[in-house]
Amino acid sequence: MAASVAKSRSLPGLLAQAALVVLVLALPLALDPNGYALFVATQLGVFVIAAIGLNLLAGYAGQVSLGHGAFIAIGAYATALLTVDHGWSFWLAALAGVVLSALMGVLMALPSFRLSTWYFAFITLAFAQVFEKMIVEWRGLTKGFAGVVGVQPPSVFGHVLDPAGVYWLVAVIAIIGFWLVNNLIRSRFGRGFVAVRDAPAAAQAAGASPARLKMLAFVIAACFAGVAGAFFAVQKTVVTPDDFTAEFSIFFLLTVVLGGLGTRWGPVVGALVFFLVPELLTGLESWRMMVYGAALLALMLFAPHGLVGAARSLFDRLRPKQTEPAAQPAETVPPEAAHVERPAISGLALEVKDLRKSFGGVVALGGVDLSVRPGTCAAIVGPNGSGKTTLLNVVGAYYRRDAGQVLLGGRETKGLSPQQIAGEGLGRTFQTPRLLGELTVLDNVLLGAYRRERASLAGTMLRLPAAASETARLRAEAMELLAFVGVADRADDLASETPHGHQRLVEIARALMGGARLIMLDEPAAGLSMTELDRLEQLIRRILALGATVVIVEHHLDLVASIASHVTVLDRGVVLASGAPQAVFADATVMAAYMGERALNEQAPGQAADDAATGDVSRPRPAPVEGA
C-alpha cells in the first residue's frame, strides 16, 4: 500500500511518464497565450515545485514544516527586490533567493534538530508567523503593504520570455525537480530519510546521522521553496504581504497531505486536485480554514497516504490475488539458505571496564566488566531489569556512559556517536525489530550499507553511472545476504508484512550489510518458534564461522549454553558471575538470582552440568543494592 523506495521500472510506466511529460510541455499550444488558463497552469507548476520539496521533508524525512510559505516568500521577495530595485538579472536574483531561503532554513532548523520532531514543526510555524509580521513592519526593506511591483520575466539568450515561455521554464524545472528528488528517494539518502522518520535508532545503527539527514532534507526543501518563490514573483509580477499569510503555509501542507505524504506522485496529484477545488470553494471563502482543517484531519485519520495511497490500496484490493506466498507456513526454510559463501570477517574484540550508568537514582550499570575475544560468542544473561540492554546501549553510545571504558578492537570509543561507532564495525539488532515497515525487506538490508556507499549527493540525484553501478553492486550483495540469513524469497515484500521471525533475520542481514565485525544481538530468540530458533542458532554459528564477534543478550539459556563460549550474568547492574556456560549455569547463586530459589530444585539448562567445576566461575564481590 505504501510507497516502496525502490520500485522496479516497468515499460508501461515509463511510457506513461513520457506521455505525461509531452502533454505537460505541449499544453501552451492548446491555450490562449495571454489567457487565464495559462496563468493558472504556470501557478500550478510553481506550487508543484514547492510541494515536491515539502513532501521530501515532511513525507519522507518526517519533519513537518508548518511555515513553508515563509521560505517561498523569501525566494519571492529576494527575486522581486533584487530585480526591481537593484537591476539584477532574474537568474542571479533567483539564485540569491534560493541561497537565502536555504540559509534561513538552516538557521531555523539548527536548534530543533537535536530535539523531537514537533519542535521543528513549532519553530517553522512560529517563523512563518513572525515573518508574516516582519514583511509588513520592515517597510524600509519590503515596502510594507504596498509590496514590490513590476517584476519582469526572465530572459533566455537575450529573449525576454512571454507567458508561454515562463510556463515552459517552470514546467521543465518542475519535471527536473521531480526526477532529482525521485532519484534521491531511491538512494541511500531516501532510505536514511525514512529511517529518521520511522526508526531513528535503526538509522544510527546503520551508521546514518539523523541530524545530518534532517538538515539535508530541510536544505533541499528550502531550496525548492526558494525556486518556487522566484517564479511566484515572476508569474504574479507583484509581491505583497497578503500573498504570504499563515494560510499560505497551511495550504501547502494540505496540498502535500492531500496528494499523499511520502508518496512519489503525492505532491503532483495534491497540487492538481487543489487547483480544481478552489473554484468550488469560492462561495465558502469565510469557511476556508475550517474546510482546510477538516480536510487535514479527515485525511490524516482515514487516508494517511492521501489520494495516491488510497488509490494504490484500492488498486491492490481490486487486483486479482495471485499465488499468495503467505499460504505456505512462514517457517519453511528455503533449500539454498545454507549454501551462500560469504567473505571472511575479521572480528573485533570488545573490552568493557568498570562501566557505569545511572538513570536518576537508579543504577542500571554499577561497574560492569566484560571481555570478548575476536571471533567468539559472548552471552549476557540476567533477570529483567538487570541492565543487559542498557549495557548494549552504552556500548553502542545510544546512552552516554557515566564512567568506565569501552574499547572496540582495542580503541576507546568515548566521544563517538552511535553512527560513528557503527562505522567502526559495530552492528546490532533491537529487542523489538526496528525495520522500516513501509520499505521492502531488500531496502531494509540496503539501509545497512548507508555508510559504505561512496556516491556523492549530486551523483545520486543525477543518477551518474558510477552511482548507478554502485547501487547495482550493493543490491546484489544485499540479495546475497538475504539468502545467507535465509529470507531471500521475501526480498520484495514490505517489511511490515513479514513475519516476526523473519524480521529478526532481516535485522541481522542489515547489520552484516553494514560490514559489522562485531554484532550485538538483543534477545534474538524472543518470540521465535522451535524451528525458527534452530535456524537462528545455525545462522549465528555460520556468522561466527566467518570470523565475526557476536555478543548476545538472551533469556533462552539452552541457546546460550549451546553457542556461547563465555557467559556473563548481570544482576541489578553488576556482574554476578562470568565464565564458561557450563560452569556458570551450575553455580547455585546464579540460578537463585536468575530463576528464584525454586529453580534450584530443578535442572540447570543445557547439559546436566552438576559435575562442572564451580571453581572456574569468577565471582566478583556481592552486588551492592542501590537505588531501591
Binding stretches for other proteins (CB under 8 A): 58, 62-64, 66, 107-108, 110-112, 114-115, 117-119, 121-123, 125-127, 129-130, 133-134, 136-137, 197-198, 201, 246, 250, 253, 257, 261, 286-290, 292-297, 300-301, 304, 359-360, 393, 398-399
Identify which of 520, 572, 507, 578 has the alpha carbon closest to the alpha carbon of residue 395: 520
- Calpha distance 73→252 (Å, rounded): 13
Q: How far is the CB of 317 from other proteins (least distance, A)?
A: 19
Q: How far is the CB of 522 from other proteins (least distance, A)?
A: 10
Query: Which backbone phi and psi does 359 adopt, to 5 degrees?
Result: -115, 105
Report the residue number, 118 or 315, with the smaller CB distance to other proteins. Answer: 118
- Calpha distance 130→613 (Å, rounded): 74
Q: How far is the CB of 299 from other proteins (least distance, A)?
A: 8
The secondary element (H helix, E strand) that includes residue 54 is helix 36-54
Report the residue number, 84 or 299, with the smaller CB distance to other proteins. Answer: 299
Sign of CA dihedral 200, 205, 208, 209: positive
- Calpha distance 403→588 (Å, rounded): 31
Q: How far is the CB of 508 from other proteins (least distance, A)?
A: 19
Report the residue number, 4 or 431, with the smaller CB distance to other proteins. Answer: 431
- Calpha distance 121→198 (Å, rounded): 17
Q: What DSSP string describes 69-94?
A: HHHHHHHHHHHHHHHHTT---HHHHH
- Calpha distance 374→391 (Å, rounded): 19
Report the residue number, 197 or 517, with the smaller CB distance to other proteins. Answer: 197
Angle at 173 between CA 213 and CA 310, to 5 degrees: 65
Report the residue number, 67 or 75, with the smaller CB distance to other proteins. Answer: 67
Report the residue number, 115 or 462, with the smaller CB distance to other proteins. Answer: 115
Report the residue number, 127 or 178, with the smaller CB distance to other proteins. Answer: 127
Query: Which backbone phi and psi does 441 adopt, to 5 degrees?
Result: -60, -45
Three-class secondary structure assignment of 137-179: HCHHHHCHHHCEECCCCCEECCEECCHHHHHHHHHHHHHHHHH
Q: How far is the CB of 444 from other proteins (least distance, A)?
A: 17
Q: What DSSP string describes 464-529?
A: -HHHHHHHHHHHHHHHHHHHHHT-GGGTTSBGGGS-HHHHHHHHHHHHHHTT-SEEEEESTTTT--
- Calpha distance 18→23 (Å, rounded): 9
Identify which of 432, 423, 56 has the alpha carbon closest to the alpha carbon of residue 215: 56
Q: How far is the CB of 144 from other proteins (least distance, A)?
A: 10
Q: Which residue has the cell 521560505?
A: 71
Q: How far is the CB of 127 from other proteins (least distance, A)?
A: 7
Q: How far is the CB of 155 from other proteins (least distance, A)?
A: 37
Angle at 498 between CA 492 and CA 501, to 5 degrees: 130
Q: How far is the CB of 63 from other proteins (least distance, A)?
A: 8
Report the residue number, 285 or 341, with the smaller CB distance to other proteins. Answer: 285
Report the residue number, 236 or 434, with the smaller CB distance to other proteins. Answer: 434
Report the residue number, 288 or 500, with the smaller CB distance to other proteins. Answer: 288
Q: How far is the CB of 183 from other proteins (least distance, A)?
A: 24
